[in-house]
């Protein structure tokens, strides 16, 4: 019985280590800036607006999962006139609620927001 418990704990520990290694590999190799042009093209295609993302998209994984975006602007529908822009946006999700299958937005930081509303 002791051997079964020992092997079960070793197996469980191995699975935990494997999950941590996969997460570390993802964090080290994933670059969100590789998808920046795809996001811009998707907004243009689906919403007929021009999205500009200046600077790099930065991700964080601990203590919160989040993204830090630089200056962003969005055009009016079917024109190049600016509809809305921000100097900086930061969004973060709380990690522990994700384990309970809950999405909790922990932080939203917007700096220098402006909008052109008619």
Do 53 and 13 belong to one domain? Answer: no
Can you give the C-alpha Rg of the chain in angstroms?
A: 21
Q: Tell me how many domains the chain contains.
A: 2
What pLDDT score was predicted for residue 76? Answer: 93
Same domain, 9 and 48: no
Q: Are residues 75 and 105 in the same domain?
A: yes
Lowest mean pLDDT among 82-86, 97-101, 111-115: 97-101
Same domain for 20 and 41: no
Query: Looking at the structure, do residues 24 and 39 belong to the same domain, yes or no?
Result: no
Mind listing the pLDDT tens digit for each residue in 5-35? 888 899 999 999 998 899 889 888 999 999 9
Identify the helix (H) or strand (E) that includes residue 20.
helix 2-29
- Residue written as tokens 């790099």? 56
Same domain assignment for residues 69 and 38: yes
Q: What sign does the dihedral 16-58-111-84 (CA atoms) show?
A: negative
| 28-67 as b/e: b if 16+ CB within 10 A | eeeeeeeebeeeeeebeeeeebbbebeeebeeeeeebebe
Say whether pLDDT at 55 is over 80. Answer: yes
Question: Which residues form the domain of 8?
Answer: 1-30
């Amino acid at each position: 019985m002791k051997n079964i418990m020992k092997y079960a704990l070793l197996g469980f520990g191995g699975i935990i280590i494997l999950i941590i290694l996969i997460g570390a590999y993802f964090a080290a190799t994933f670059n969100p800036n590789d998808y920046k042009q795809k996001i811009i093209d998707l907004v243009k295609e689906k919403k007929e607006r021009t999205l500009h993302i200046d600077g790099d998209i930065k991700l964080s994984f601990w203590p919160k999962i989040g993204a830090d975006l630089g200056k962003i602007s969005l055009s009016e529908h079917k024109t190049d006139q600016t509809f809305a822009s921000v100097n900086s946006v930061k969004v973060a999700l709380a990690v522990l609620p994700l384990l309970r299958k809950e999405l909790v937005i922990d932080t939203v930081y917007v700096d220098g927001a402006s909008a052109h509303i008619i």
